[in-house]
Amino acid sequence: MVCVSERTVCSFEDCPIIRTCLSESQLPSHLREELQQLREALEAPPPTEAPPREGCPALRLQDTCVNQCQRDADCPVDHLCCSNGCGQVCRHDTRVYRAPKRGSCPRILSGSEESCDTGCHSDHDCPGLQKCCQSSCGMTCTTPCFHWLSTSSHWQLSQRCQSRRTARRRAVNKRLKAAERRRHQSSRRDLTSSSMSLRDILDLLDSV
């Protein structure tokens, strides 16, 4: 039964509105089809998100809407063509273990401008020696830091990769050297004052 409100035909400006009920068989065919579609939409179960494909990493909350591939053959070895929720991208097959690349990610400097695009999920999504590192607002492929000994001839870093432990050790050594200088200067002053006192005593003895 379908009920509609219709205004009655009368000789007054404000005609009363009456409620008229019709059975579905009395409705026009196009209205019956629309009513059936509306009923099916209301009765349909809510859509569920399909689980990620086996071997593909879990979807992230935010990713770029690009299509890098259409099938696994378009991707490098040990990579699969996976959905990132907005497109198809090549991702490392999580079923194949690969050790992380050497080096560590550089510290994030405040105020640095970084791309907010999620460019990688693991080290092996990055070319060459680059690692997948956290930027100021996403994951991106970055040149890693190699903390070698300062005596090494290869102590050249393209980024500010100073180790916090090394910085603390340098600060402690600097404070120790400053304290040693103050102690040395104090001992020299004490020695000078002691010599003057002894000289005064000798002069006093000579005068006597």
pLDDT value of position 118: 59
Residue ranges in the chain whose pLDDT is less than 50: 109-115, 149-160, 163
Which neighbouring-strand residues pair with 2?
22
Fold of 55-98: R-elafin (4.10.75)
49 half-sphere exposure, CB direction, 13 A CA radius? 7
pLDDT value of position 104: 84
Handedness of CA 14, 20, 26, 30 (dihedral sign): positive
User: Could you tell me the residue ranges of all domains in the chain?
Assistant: 2-43, 55-98
- Predicted structure pTM score: 0.35
CA distance 35 to 91: 45
**Helix then strand then coil, % of the chain, to nearest 5:** 35, 15, 50
Which neighbouring-strand residues pair with 50?
none
Closest CA to 91 of 72, 63, 65: 72
